Structure 1
Amino acid sequence: MDEFTFIDQIKQSLYKQPALVKGIGDDAAVFRQSAQDIVTAADTLVEDVHFSRALMDALYIGYRALAANISDIAAMGAAPAFYLVSIVIPDSCSDEELNDIYKGMSYAASDHRMDLIGGDTVSGNELSIAITVIGFVNRKQARLRSAAEPGDVLFVTGTLGDAAAGFHILNSNKFYKDSSYYMDRHRMPQIRSAFAKQLEPLTRVALNDISDGLANEANEIAEASHVSLTIYENQLPVRDSFEQFSEEEQHKWKLYGGEDFELLGAVPESEWEQLKSIAARNSTPLTAIGYANNRENKDHHVWLVDDSHTPKRLMKKGYTHRSR
């Protein structure tokens, strides 16, 4: 399939976002926005680094690729609106696979009324997908990981370790309970965009999406906010069937597994009840897992309290590129 035929296939016949002036079909897209702040996120996924075509259907590859970027926008408290996709296509990728990748992205986009407004296609040696997402948030309402303060309640949405468990199951021949649930959590993660957008009434909230693991994201909040965080391991939410995995696997996956795309946040204790009400209205599971404490110490660490009640340093460890 040539490039122009492909563009015609993926071009939307109807656009959903009123801010869009011109979408696909010109040298660049045009959108107009004056009342809100513009939020952008970009990510690149490379075959055999971020995904494997041997383990995952093309539709799931496309869905996860866009979902990861939508989650970044959600963590800023913004609503996603547009996305652009540049893709490197190897000879081994069939037209059907390529269409399914874009179909998967379209499924993820439809949940948020997003429009595909541009991108690029090029031939290459390995499948690579680069996505840019554009969203909007009311002025000065972007939620930053630097907003945590001592005394804040630390919380997470959903359950942790599911995506890592799903990846494990996909690579295993063993029987596991709830296997479809865990595999879907890996292949088609639920993004907490609607929940994050409804946090606007709160005076202050720090947010980070759990893409690289709870330990990594918690340390990012601590460093950016110049606070220390205390997390109670026995309060970390997991699915009931998670206990079927070994204690070592449970510990590793819920702290370092990543790609759950849940939200980690910190909110003033005085607004915790209001946050719980927002979560209940959105049917979003919400769990308090710890708190933020003093700023006086220059070392802004994260501490994990286990069943022995002894705080241990939770190091900034998870999925990071260029690490060995």
Structure 2
Amino acid sequence: MSISDEFAFIKDIQPERLFHAQKVVGIGDDAAIIGVEEGFEKIVCVDTMVEGVHFTRGTMKPFDIGYKALAANISDVAAMGGYPLYYLVSITISKEWSQEELRAIYDGMRSLGDQYEVDLIGGDTTSGKTMVLSVFVIGQVEKGKRLLRSRAKEGDVVFVSGTVGDSAGGLDILLHNEGASTEHPSLMEYHQRPKPQVTLGRMLSKFERVSLNDVSDGLASELLEIAEASQVDILINKETIPISEDLQNYRAEKAFQWAMTGGEDFELVGSIPETDWVKLQEECQTAGIKITKIGTVSSGEGRAFLKSHDGVQELKKEGYNHFNRG
């Protein structure tokens, strides 16, 4: 491990202030203590990034690694309708990483944490052969307002926020086409510094019934998870899938495939009763949030289908799978 003094490093990354100081005992004791606020349920999630699997030095700067690791967890909290409060970090450090690079990783997390008022309250450091970064986030949502995948029902409108496929396009540039980086910087930013949709998740939690998922493994995979959890069928229309002009200009022939299976867009996909759809559209327009109707829900057995000019085909879970990398 390239940290000369572990305790000095921990002191160096300790935040100077806490957004929720009145509710927490953070770094400095054997464990953190957090308060439980009446009328709320806690949301807990963890996400791990492994060097050579989720990132390389060629695709992510240290700052971006930290930023994205925290963003993935905040996105999970958003998909539950909640908002993040605290995070903890466990990091395994290989000797190839300098102390300056490690500090940049934490700076990336701090930058995003400041945007969402999330406090670093603990963690662990150890040495190993490969860099492994695990981030654990604690959030909360009002009791009775949590959003689940299992709440889709027949007649619902299926929607997705933003555009999908941009992160995969950005990764393609970073891996295979560096010359396109100056023409499509936004695609690389989507991959390296995704934007969790907390505002939309909070907005959706105010509705009586919503099913929700975040687009981490690919749109097709997330839709199937909702269909299976709700035991319904979902039909989406190819022509309505929101794909950015930037992605179309970069690789039009790959854009739809990346939209369906690329993953790591961290947009929100879900369903809402048709009677609430217009109200949701109006609220999103007021908030400046792009949201698109892409399909409908029908009774069924947990399947998802794609309708196009070629007919209707059943979707498969073809998004990213850590245990099927061949």
User: Which of 8, 12, 20 pairs up with 2:11?
Assistant: 8
Return the letter of the residue paired with 1:303: F
The change in CA–CA distance for 1:28 and 1:292 in structure 2 (over 3 A counts) is: same
- TM-score, length of structure 2 as denominator length: 0.95
The change in CA–CA distance for 1:312 and 1:177 in structure 2 (over 3 A counts) is: farther
Task: Tell me whether 15-24 or 97-106 shows the greater mean CA deviation.
Answer: 15-24
User: Which of 17, 20, 23 pairs up with 1:17?
Assistant: 20
Shift, 1:246, TM fit = 4.3
Residue aligning to 1:83: 87
Residue aligning to 2:308: 306
Shift, 1:194, TM fit = 1.4
Q: Give RMSD over aligned pairs.
A: 1.3
Shift, 1:38, TM fit = 0.3
- 1-side partners of 2:119 and 2:74: how far apart? 12
1:114-172 Cα shifts (integer Å, max 9, x gaps): 00000000011110001100001000211000010010000000001000000011121
2:318 equivalent to 1:322: no
The change in CA–CA distance for 1:23 and 1:265 in structure 2 (over 3 A counts) is: same
User: Which of 284, 287, 291 pairs up with 2:292?
Assistant: 287
Residue aligning to 1:66: 70
Shift, 1:277, TM fit = 1.9
User: Which of 112, 116, 124 pairs up with 1:112?
Assistant: 116
1:81/1:135 contact within 8 Å kept: yes
Give percent identity, aligned residues only.
41
2:27/2:122 contact within 8 Å kept: yes
- 1-side partners of 2:35 and 2:180: how far apart? 52
Give the 3-state SS of the residue equivalent to 2:24 in structure 1: strand
Residue aligning to 1:32: 35
1:76-97 Cα shifts (integer Å, max 9, x gaps): 0010000000000111000110
Residue aligning to 1:221: 226
2:267 equivalent to 1:262: yes
Return the letter of the residue paired with 1:132: F
- Return 5+ residue gaps in structure 1 as ranges: none
Shift, 1:62, TM fit = 0.6
- 2-side partners of 1:251 and 1:64: how far apart? 24
User: Which of 106, 124, 130 pairs up with 1:102?
Assistant: 106
2:59/2:171 contact within 8 Å kept: no
- 2-side partners of 1:285 and 1:274: how far apart? 14
Return the letter of the residue paired with 2:18: Y
1:19/1:31 contact within 8 Å kept: no
Shift, 1:53, TM fit = 1.4
Shift, 1:173, TM fit = 3.6
Give the 3-state SS of the residue equivalent to 2:172 in structure 1: helix
Mapping of residues 271-282 of structure 1, within 5 Å:
271-282=276-287
2:77/2:84 contact within 8 Å kept: yes
- Higher percent of residues as helix: 2
- 2-side partners of 1:34 and 1:280: how far apart? 32
Mapping of residues 178-197 of structure 1, within 5 Å:
178-197=183-202
**Structure 1 segments of 4+ aligned residues over 6 angstroms from their partners:** none
- 1-side partners of 2:298 and 2:183: how far apart? 38
Shift, 1:247, TM fit = 4.7
